[in-house]
Amino acid sequence: MKRDRITNLLEGLIFGNRPLLLGFFLIMTILMGISLSQLRIDAGFAKLLPLEHEYMQTYIEHGQEFGGANRVMIALMAKEGDIFTADFFETLEQATDDVFFIPGVDRSQVSSLFTPNVRYTEVVEDGIAGGNVVPADFTPTAEGLERVRENILKAGIVGRLVANDFSGAMISAELLEIDPGSGERLDFIHASALLEEKIRETYQSDRIDVHIIGFAKVVGDIADGAQRVVLFFLIAFIITTVLVFLYTRSVILTLIPLACSLTAVIWQLGMLPVLGYGIDPMGLLVPFLIFAIGVSHAVQMITANTAEVRAGAQRIDAAKASFRQLLLPGFVALASDTIGFITIRLIEIQVIQEMAVTASLGVAAIILTNLVLLPILLSYVRTGNRYHRRVNQQVQVLKPVWRFFEQAAEPRPARIIIGVALVLFAFGAWKGADVKIGDMHRGVPELRTDSRYNMDSDVITTHFSIGVDLLSVIVETEADGCIDYDIMSAVDRFAWHMNNVPGVQSVVGLPGIAKTIYSGWNEGSLKWRVLPRNQSSMVQAVGYVPTSSRLLNSDCSVMPIMIFTEDHKAETIDRIVAEVKSYRNQHPYENISFRLATGNVGVMAATNEEVSAAQFPILLYVFGAVILLCYIQFRSIRAVLCIVLPLGLVSLLAYALMSLLEIGLKVSTLPVVALGVGVGVDYGIYIFSRLRSNLSKGMPLQQAYLHTLAVTGNGVVFTGATLAIGVATWIFSPLKFQADMGILLTFMFLVNMLGAILLLPALACLLLPKNKPEQPQP
Amino acid sequence: MCPRSKTSHHIVALTCLLILIMVPITAGADNNSVAARLAPEALLLGAARAGEDLIVVGERGHLLRSTDLGKSWQQIIVPTQATLTAITFIDPQHGWAVGHDLTILKTTDGGQNWHLVHQDIDEQPPLLSVFFLDINRGFALGAYGTFLETDDGGRTWEQRWISEDDFHLNAIAAVGDHLFIAAEAGIVYRSDDQGETFIELTPDYSGSFFGILPLKDTSLLLFGLRGHLFRSDNLGENWRQLPTDTEAGLTTGLQLKDGTSLIAGLSGTLLVSKDHGQSYSVRQDPDRKGFSKLLETADGGVLAVGDFGVTLLPQSLLR
């Protein structure tokens, strides 16, 4: 057969040049190790955006001008009483000054009671008077503070820069993604660390609490959490090592698979700087996954090798034999993994695409380390009699276990298993259909609800009238549109319409502000709080609003309508977005377009739609690839069914689990579902491959399966359990998305393993043609 | 799509159909006010009683009716989206509402249906106040000296000038047989002949007056910008300024059946007098609402409208 010729050729090449190849692996690993030292953590805002999405085009066009997504808000809260104390004002002034000098802060956009852009106006007999809220001659005396209190009320900044109950004050600052001076990209993690060090640590006292929120802070906190993630990986690694040792009963046979898998990880991470990538907090799971897949395959190789040695083979022959047995299934399994990883590229979000590329590179590395390096290393291993005794002992201990599982291939239990599987299938289809896209909980979804960030966010949203969930609709019109009554009034009607949509907390836009200002020009009378039809009055009303308010652009042709939402649950976002779309369909204007969307909720809306659009194609391609590869290897539809049906069931159950645990389908969890299929197919392919090879020797199914279990099944159960225990530790991660991934991966590893050793043989029992039990050997 | 929004689609479709049918009959029907969930929480400016029912008006042509003394509100669709500033009823059936774009609406069925009887949108000044002497004769007044009168219950309106100046005419009220108009620039007008002629009165203040509160004993209170409050016991011949301890604009007044008088204004300012308007003490509404109109309900509650929408004031604030 042609395939055998290729295997023979490769076997000759590999085992004929062992020192040469070892040298190659050593040098490559050293080079990659050097490259790895260049690796840095890299978290950018743009990377997390689905840039191709319609909404994000709006974001790119207008994001710079209207920004807002990159705001940092620092609230100083008096622990007792209110803010009108000398001590509080002194602290607020110093903190404001310090914020000015944090690198990346746009100094023109800093506002607090102490910045000159915060002014009050009041109606007096002969017009409008105004001044700075904290006057230049301010002294923190009782009179001075009383004057500031009055100015605060006149300035209408209660709820924005001062807490509604006067228990705190806010410093708001905008961060620039590109430093205008140096042209360098802002280091969010650094900025976040500076905020901690210069602001929180400096000003937090027994009288004043400091709360900080904003995207930079989120990224910083994720990065902090990510450092602890490394600890979780270490724990997972140690657990794996101990379990591998318990499994192999040999130090050398423990070290070899771990070393091979680590080599793959080093190569994968080393490739990142070469490709110009950093490692993103979201992508941290990839190295671990590579390690896990590596161990999983290595254990198969070790198990096969041990079986050969026990059967009496010389060490080099044993290595060659296991290489021959596993080259094809190993390659097919890893190719399926690679395809699984590559399909997540369909999500047009840079961080995901980087993850897809680096993960496929990692799997490619495993093909080399586990199918080439590992057999070579094994061929050098000399195992003593004591090792053989230990292995024999283990085999004896496990025999009854395998006898038990072997029943899955007997007709009656097989029918029961398939019956249970059908019930689970129905359950999965029922619950899985309920899975929600996007986030379902309060606060920043990457962090836990009780994380400091989300607590800070809670304090700030409770005491200030500030929504943290913002969807901005960008209204584009002609130049000077904001002084045209018809245009302004159309925009105003839109804003009011959106205000009435359930889930909307408040709407802020230029027309609303212009009305208030026009009323101000008319002695503050509420009866004049309208948009004036008279153009010069409109000019007067709008002219008062600076472009720095982010409510209009310089030629007044673009006005964002800021829709603050009550939360960012997918259903809330969907409802609001649908309302915007239906409104603009029902009210078409020639010269006005309402464009979705910027703001953090705008980003979520785009991301949700992207995830929702990608989820079915991803599963389609993953399963398509798995089916194709299995068919190419086994040339049998029945074989494909035996392998793929359990995978399908597990995917469906994973959806049901997400629905039950209220884990949304989002950027961090969608890849897990795709990757889970990749991991699961390994088990199926290895088991089926050996099962068929045993069947072709003429064994009846039950016997063939018993033999399969003792070798391959052993490895599958072991790796499934080991990897599940490893990732289960993630559930305790400070990062919500990692915890979610941990839950899902644990589930995937375990249930895929069960699917492969229970459902696969049951299906084989019903689907495969039977070998006669007492068929004589030819 | 959930069933609720399906229903709303049907309503929209039905409304569109009705509008199509009604276009030849009612001019500008496509400008009908739009039903809005939050209308009771949006800017409301005027309030009036039609018998025991309450009607309030405000921005975007919002007009709400309560038949349970202000506990719940139903929006009535009216043929305008103009901001309505004031409303009055001469009896439980007949009422008029005025607003921007020289809009005047009329009802003859206690506020359940409203007809547009006057409107002129070409940069015209807003109407700010409306008053009817009887079922036929009434006045609607507004900015820049706008003064409209009717003798046929509001079917037709005539514009006239009551003074050579074109000051804003902010509010009108009857004190006994006399009519008083609070105007801009420290001016008050009084008519002793049912609005045929007006004479100018000048209390010692140059800022705007926003409102007049007639007290039960024919005294009257006049109030306006920056907390200014004047009292006259002789129909405006002499004025006495009362201290108020506030700098907020005062916009509306109300004397309750028990004699307590209230004057409310911007920034949550509420002045309360228990001595028949001789002296006032300030209550500050903690939410700093801007009040536009106060009204006593049939059961003695105090209804307030303003930038917060409509609410019943808590008794604690009035004590």
Quick check: A125 and B226 CB within 8 A?
Answer: yes
Q: Which of B36, B43, B225 minimises the CB distance to A526?
A: B43
Do the domain assignments include residue A338? Answer: no
Give the end of a domain, one of A219, A253, A279: A219
CA angle A314, A319, A320 (to 5 degrees): 95
User: What's the mean pLDDT in A372-392?
Assistant: 83
| pLDDT value, residue A742 | 87
How many angstroms away from the CA of A120 is the closest CA of chain B?
A: 14
User: What's the mean pLDDT in A626-642?
Assistant: 89
Residue A122 pLDDT class (50, 70, 90 cuts) = low
Contact residues on chain B for A586, CB-CB shorter than 8 A: 12
Quick check: B101 and A500 CB within 8 A?
Answer: no
User: What's the mean pLDDT in A595-613?
Assistant: 85
Tens digits of per-residue pLDDT, B133-189? 999 999 999 999 999 999 999 899 999 998 888 899 999 999 989 999 999 988 999
The CATH number that applies at residue A570 is 3.30.70.1320
CA dihedral for B72, B77, B78, B84, sign (positive or negative)? positive
Residue B113 pLDDT class (50, 70, 90 cuts) = very high
> Could you tell me how many CB contacts below 8 A there are between chain A and chain B?
64
Beta-bridge partner residues of B116: B105
Do A772 and A682 lie in one domain? The reply is yes
Do the domain assignments include residue A49? Answer: no
Do A527 and A573 lie in one domain? The reply is yes
Quick check: A124 and B208 CB within 8 A?
Answer: no
User: What's the mean pLDDT in B305-317?
Assistant: 88
Bond preceding residue A173 cis, omega within 30 of 0: no
Q: Domain extents for chain B?
A: 243-319
Quick check: A526 and B45 CB within 8 A?
Answer: yes
If you write DSSP's letter for every residue of A315-337 in order, what string do you get? HHHHHHHHHHHHHHHHHHHHHHH
Q: Which of B123, B206, B307 minimises the CB distance to A534?
A: B123
**Touching check for B269 and chain A: CB below 8 Å?**
no
| pLDDT value, residue A115 | 86
* Domain count across chain A: 3
**Touching check for B94 and chain A: CB below 8 Å?**
no
DSSP 3-state of B100: coil
Residues 6+ apart with CB under 8 A from A525: A519, B170, B210, B249, B251
Question: CA-nearest residue of chain B to A516?
Answer: B307
C-alpha–C-alpha distance, residues A218 and A83, integer Å: 27
Q: Which of B36, B81, B290 minimises the CB distance to A526?
A: B290
The CATH number that applies at residue A651 is 1.20.1640.10
Do A492 and A591 lie in one domain? The reply is yes
| pLDDT value, residue A128 | 63
How many angstroms away from the CA of B73 is the closest CA of chain A?
A: 16
Q: Which position has the higher pLDDT, A684 or B22? A: A684
Question: CA-nearest residue of chain B to A574?
Answer: B1
Question: CA-nearest residue of chain B to A528?
Answer: B126
Quick check: A125 and B251 CB within 8 A?
Answer: no
Do the domain assignments include residue A128? Answer: yes
Calculate the CA dihedral of residues B144, B150, B155, B158 and round it to 10 degrees: -50
Write the single-letter amino acid at A429.
A
Do the domain assignments include residue A381? Answer: no
Do A490 and A562 lie in one domain? The reply is yes
Quick check: B85 and A500 CB within 8 A?
Answer: no
| pLDDT value, residue A126 | 61
**Touching check for B290 and chain A: CB below 8 Å?**
yes
Contact residues on chain A for B43, CB-CB shorter than 8 A: 526, 529
Quick check: B59 and A529 CB within 8 A?
Answer: yes
Average pLDDT of chain B?
86
Has residue B13 got a pLDDT over 50?
A: no
User: What's the mean pLDDT in A169-191?
Assistant: 79
Q: What percentage of chain A has pLDDT greater than the value 90?
A: 17
- Considering A96-110, A192-206, B14-28, B67-81, the range whose residues carry the highest mean pLDDT is B67-81
- Interface probe for A, chosen from B15, B119, B210, B223 (most Cβ of A below 10 Å), is B210
Quick check: B45 and A153 CB within 8 A?
Answer: no
| pLDDT value, residue A498 | 92
Do A133 and A211 lie in one domain? The reply is yes
Question: Which runs of E-coded beta strand occur in A191-333?
Answer: 208-214
Residues 6+ apart with CB under 8 A from A452: A221
Q: What percentage of chain B has pLDDT greater than the value 90?
A: 59
**Touching check for B42 and chain A: CB below 8 Å?**
yes
Has residue A265 got a pLDDT over 80?
A: yes
Calculate the CA dihedral of residues A104, A110, A114, A120 and round it to 10 degrees: 170
Contact residues on chain A for B59, CB-CB shorter than 8 A: 529-530
User: What's the mean pLDDT in A734-741?
Assistant: 83
Question: CA-nearest residue of chain A to B246?
Answer: A150
Tens digits of per-residue pLDDT, A490-523? 999 999 999 999 988 888 888 888 888 888 888 8
Do A701 and A734 lie in one domain? The reply is yes
How many angstroms away from the CA of B85 is the closest CA of chain A?
A: 6
Do A519 and A407 lie in one domain? The reply is no
Has residue A300 got a pLDDT over 60?
A: yes
Element (H, E) at A120: strand A119-124
| pLDDT value, residue A127 | 62
Do A574 and A678 lie in one domain? The reply is no
Residues 6+ apart with CB under 8 A from A631: A637, A639, A640
Do A195 and A83 lie in one domain? The reply is yes
Has residue B12 got a pLDDT over 60?
A: no
Do A653 and A599 lie in one domain? The reply is no
Quick check: A500 and B38 CB within 8 A?
Answer: yes
Quick check: B206 and A123 CB within 8 A?
Answer: no
Do the domain assignments include residue A687? Answer: yes
Do A81 and A204 lie in one domain? The reply is yes
Contact residues on chain B for A499, CB-CB shorter than 8 A: 38
If you write DSSP's letter for every residue of B105-150 in order, what string do you get? EEESSTTSS-EEEE---SSPPPEEEEEESSSS-EEEEEGGG-EEEE
Do the domain assignments include residue A263? Answer: no
User: What's the mean pLDDT in A726-752?
Assistant: 86
| pLDDT value, residue A44 | 63
| pLDDT value, residue A519 | 85
Q: Which of B36, B122, B307 minimises the CB distance to A500?
A: B36
CA neighbor of A321 nearest in space, from A307, A339, A335: A307
Average pLDDT of chain A?
84
C-alpha–C-alpha distance, residues B300 and B52, integer Å: 11
Give the end of a domain, one of A192, A219, A246: A219
| pLDDT value, residue A358 | 83
| pLDDT value, residue A548 | 67
How many angstroms away from the CA of A430 is the closest CA of chain B?
A: 20
Q: Name the least confident of A150-159, A395-404, B292-301.
A: A150-159
Do the domain assignments include residue A240? Answer: no
How many angstroms away from the CA of A522 is the closest CA of chain B?
A: 10
Question: CA-nearest residue of chain B to A578?
Answer: B1
Contact residues on chain B for A520, CB-CB shorter than 8 A: none
Has residue A713 got a pLDDT over 60?
A: yes
| pLDDT value, residue A104 | 81
Pairing of strands B53-58, B44-50: antiparallel
Question: Which runs of E-coded beta strand occur in B16-175?
Answer: 44-50, 53-58, 63-66, 74-75, 84-89, 95-99, 103-107, 115-118, 127-132, 138-142, 147-150, 158-159, 169-175
Predicted complex ipTM: 0.89
Do the domain assignments include residue A385? Answer: no
| pLDDT value, residue A66 | 66
Q: Which of A122, A500, A529 minimises the CB distance to B43?
A: A529
Contact residues on chain A for B266, CB-CB shorter than 8 A: 524, 526
Residue B19 pLDDT class (50, 70, 90 cuts) = very low
Do A409 and A488 lie in one domain? The reply is no
Quick check: B45 and A527 CB within 8 A?
Answer: yes
Question: CA-nearest residue of chain A to B122?
Answer: A533
**Touching check for B100 and chain A: CB below 8 Å?**
yes
Give the end of a domain, one of A219, A239, A265: A219
CA neighbor of B89 nearest in space, from B134, B142, B128: B134
How many angstroms away from the CA of A500 is the closest CA of chain B?
A: 6
C-alpha–C-alpha distance, residues B141 and A653, integer Å: 71
| pLDDT value, residue B20 | 39
C-alpha–C-alpha distance, residues A754 and A747, integer Å: 11
Q: Which of B81, B126, B267 minimises the CB distance to A153?
A: B267
Q: Which domain holds residue A160?
A: 68-219
Question: CA-nearest residue of chain A to B290?
Answer: A526
Quick check: B83 and A530 CB within 8 A?
Answer: yes
| pLDDT value, residue B7 | 41
**Touching check for B119 and chain A: CB below 8 Å?**
no
Q: Checking phi first, is residue B72 left (phi over 0); if not, alpha (psi -120 to 50) or beta?
A: beta
Q: Name the least confident of A326-330, A617-621, B13-17, B69-73.
A: B13-17
Tens digits of per-residue pLDDT, A35-84? 888 887 766 666 777 777 888 888 777 766 666 557 788 999 988 878 88
